[in-house]
Amino acid sequence: MATIALTESFIKNGLICPEGKRKIEYRDTTTPGLLVEVSSAKQGVGTYYLRYRNEAGQQRANKLGRTTDLSLKDARKKSLQIRAEISQGADPRADVIARKAIPTFAKFMQDQYMPHAKSHKRTWKGDEGMMNRELIPVFGHMRLNQITRKQIQSFHTRLKEEGRSGAYCDHYIKLIRHALNLAVDWDIISQNPARRVPLFREDNRVENYMERDELERLIHVLRSDANRMVCNIALFLLSTGARLNEALTATWNNIDQKNRVWRIPAANSKSKKIRSVPLNDSALEIINQLTTEQRYEYLFINKNTGKPYTTILKVWGRLRKEAGLPRLRLHDLRHQYASFLVNDGRTLYEVQQILGHSDPSVTQRYAHLSSSALQAAAASASMCIDGAFSEAS
């Protein structure tokens, strides 16, 4: 640092960084705290700074402007104005420092959101995949307070234009919205730019229901194939309407054969609530065929590893092809179970309770399956009309 009385002539002709130095500061003896910084890369041009200490005694340097844009006279005037504000307790660098303290989207997601998701969401791996696949490449370098609603909306639209389904696009907006809501809750940012981004809300649900002959083919394969454990898992899903993860994590402690009840712990339930699944005869028959009781904690054990299954998709792909049902998904067995109940005249409320739907609107999708029951109900009105007509005659 060099201390001199800055002059307009020096600013015009003397801003030289000595050879061997990366930068040099010329401190003004006339105006306290005022200095000009010159770098070796830009000889002849400098940047005015005001150096001061805030109320906490921390030294700060507030940028005033470049010598090409600000005269020495104006730099001194600006310095005196800022020093007057500092004397009243202001800190001109505080806002800038606070803004720089806000993490980038990538750092926030990796260091704060994901640890939170791992302890609160069973589907955190999906969030991690979405984050790395689409979100980090687009928003990762931006600080949270730099992300705008327009940028999020443009990202949403671009995904759709690339041929993605509306539901696929909406999942990303829901993740961004949830993550930034947490950032607001944690006082990192003041508002969520994704809050009012509209969703496409396309209904792309796929439900495959088997006809009688298709069901018979599937049952034949599941009862005769050599891979008995995976076949029993599929039969168990079809007999209980359970989700795959619920079945794979089922333990013998949760099975009450005497009272014909399977209790699913909150940790394994999608609704995060304990729920009880009634065990019908076919479900109990499958349980009685298992050889894992008193030997293992879990019902369904992979004989090759001695551990519970984490997935059966590969074997299921072979089984469904053998049954001539190449598009049948494991989750369709849950839908098929619901169709059994509805077509047998069970109410949607009963179906909701057995399947563990927290929202009755989810169960409502099965309403169209009860056409025969509705026809029978409508027929009762016809009988009343016919009866009244007969009496009137």
Q: Along the 393 residues of the chain, how does pLDDT read in single tens digits? A: 789 999 999 999 999 999 999 999 999 999 999 999 999 999 999 999 999 887 777 788 889 999 999 999 999 999 999 888 888 878 777 666 566 678 999 999 999 999 999 988 878 999 999 999 999 999 999 999 999 999 999 999 999 999 998 989 999 999 999 999 999 999 899 899 999 999 998 765 667 789 899 999 999 999 999 999 999 999 999 999 999 999 999 999 999 999 999 999 988 777 678 889 999 999 999 999 999 999 999 999 999 999 999 999 999 999 999 999 999 999 999 989 988 888 888 888 888 888 888 777 777 777 666 666 666 667 777 777 776 666 655
Distances from the Cα of 209 to the Cαs of 238, 318, 322, in angstroms?
12, 19, 17
| Residue 298, CA atoms < 13 Å, CB-side half-sphere | 17
304: phi then psi, degrees, rounded to nearest 5: -80, -30
204 located within any domain: no
369 located within any domain: no
Q: Which residue, chain included where needed, has tokens 């999942």?
A: 171
CATH classification of the domain holding 230: 1.10.443.10
40/91 same-domain check: yes
72/109 same-domain check: no
Starting at the earlier edge strand, list the strands of the sheet with 275-278.
255-256, 261-264, 275-278
138/225 same-domain check: no
Six-digit token string for 158: 């671009």
Distances from the Cα of 193 to the Cαs of 157, 186, 201, 299, in angstroms?
16, 15, 19, 47
152 located within any domain: yes
Closest to 353 measured CA to CA, from 273, 286, 283, 280: 273
96/146 same-domain check: no
175/271 same-domain check: no
73 located within any domain: yes
235/297 same-domain check: yes
Helical ranges in 186-306 per DSSP H: 212-224, 228-240, 244-248, 281-289
286 located within any domain: yes
68/118 same-domain check: no
Report the SS3 class of residue 255: strand
pTM for the whole thing?
Answer: 0.56
134/224 same-domain check: no
Domain end among 100, 128, 153: 100
Q: Would you tell me how many other CB atoms lie within 10 Å of the CB of residue 223? A: 11
Domain end among 100, 135, 156: 100
CATH classification of the domain holding 71: 3.30.160.390
166 located within any domain: yes
Six-digit token string for 223: 């009862």
Measure the CA–CA gap between 181 and 54, rounded to whole angstroms.
Answer: 33
68 located within any domain: yes
96/114 same-domain check: no
Number of structural domains in the chain? 3
Domain end among 274, 303, 329: 329
Domain encompassing residue 246: 212-329
77/171 same-domain check: no
Report the SS3 class of residue 301: strand
196 located within any domain: no
Closest to 98 measured CA to CA, from 54, 65, 137, 138: 54
12/95 same-domain check: yes
Q: Which residue, chain included where needed, has tokens 């179906």?
A: 351
324/279 same-domain check: yes
Measure the CA–CA gap between 276 and 265, rounded to whole angstroms.
Answer: 9
Residue pair 147/193 in contact by the 8 Å Cβ criterion: yes
